[in-house]
Structure 1
Amino acid sequence: MSVPPSATDQGNIHWSREETMVLIELYRQHPCLWNVKVDMYRDRDKRAAALRQITEDMNRSGTTVTTSDVKRKIESLRNQHRRELRNMQK
């Protein structure tokens, strides 16, 4: 991951498959972001801290991203997952 994601005109970045996999692994380590059954899921401060931690970890690994980039990518992945589940149910 020596090359940072490339920016597009809209401010979105292109994530490589490797960067996406790293993000998913970091996301899994923070259940307060995805597990509605844990109390911390409802704690905005804990969720914001988890997103900042993911951003810092990504930046330490050589990827230059902002918290907004991370939030946008997570939202995109979750939407994609929901679409796939919906298509499987048809």
Structure 2
Amino acid sequence: MSKSGTKMRLSEAKTLELIDLYRREECLWNSRLPVYRYKTKRNEAIERIVKELNVRKLEAHHVTTKIKNLRNSYCAELKKMSGGRRRDSFKPKVWFAKMDSFLRAHVPCPTPDATPSLPNVKIEIVSDSEESESNVTENNKEDLQSLIRTIEKLSEQLKTRTTRKQDVFDDFGTYVASVLRSLPSERAMALQPKIISLINSSDDIKYEYN
């Protein structure tokens, strides 16, 4: 069997460790870094991951394949989250949460042909107890939906101002909206005026580039 055809299975614990090591090696996923363009640097990063994992018979091509598979699975999970189908509350696996914490703005995952309307988006209110969850009013939920609509609208406006199909601003807007959906309603509402205030005060920010 050829070297590229060999397979290596990692335990769940080792897979999570691999994701942590992958996150540490930014040159493997952050395309904004100059070092991202250099294959030799990426190969060196893969070799460091192999050494850190310390798995018998594990080689660089195994790690490369595993990372590729994780990225593909990550994109598939994102597509489920952004799809217009009605689903039960989406509860991602631990590996997804780890990757999502740093990868979302850097992976051009495919998006549905049509953007789902917000009323079909299920917002899960996370609270410390059932009692606190029951205290979330319908008005707060409606306000939270309004905030998410604002973020998604800003993302759409940024996307139409460029000839690229998708850019970092679109990814960032989608990421902010997903983070707000995961927060308790009261906390998300408290963030609304701060986000809007920061956007409105952008004229006061000194930009590094014109």
TM-score range relative to shorter protein: 0.7 to 0.9
Residues 66-85 of structure 1: matches in 2 within 5 Å? 66-85=59-78
More strand by share: 1
TM-score (norm 1): 0.81
Amino acid at match of 1:84: E
Structure 1 match to 2:130: none
Matched, 1:56 2:51: yes
Q: How many residues align?
A: 78
The alignment-based identity, stated in percent, is 35
Secondary structure, aligned partner of 2:52? helix
The separation in 2 between residues aligned to 1:12 and 1:85, in whole angstroms, is: 26
The separation in 2 between residues aligned to 1:47 and 1:11, in whole angstroms, is: 21
Residues 17-28 of structure 1: matches in 2 within 5 Å? 17-28=12-23
The separation in 1 between residues aligned to 2:38 and 2:75, in whole angstroms, is: 24
Per-residue CA deviations over 1:64-90 (Å, capped at 9, x if unaligned) read 210011001000100000111111111
The separation in 2 between residues aligned to 1:24 and 1:18, in whole angstroms, is: 10
Secondary structure, aligned partner of 1:14? coil
Superposed CA RMSD in Å reads 1.0
TM-score (norm 2): 0.36
Matched, 1:87 2:77: no
The separation in 2 between residues aligned to 1:49 and 1:13, in whole angstroms, is: 20
Unaligned runs of 5+ in 2: 84-210
Unaligned runs of 5+ in 1: 1-9
Per-residue CA deviations over 1:51-74 (Å, capped at 9, x if unaligned) read 111111112xxx121001100100
Shift of 1:11: 2.1
The separation in 1 between residues aligned to 2:50 and 2:36, in whole angstroms, is: 18
Asked which structure has the greater RCO (Cα within 8 Å, sep 6+), the reply is 1
Structure 1 residue runs of 4+, over 4 Å off?
Answer: none
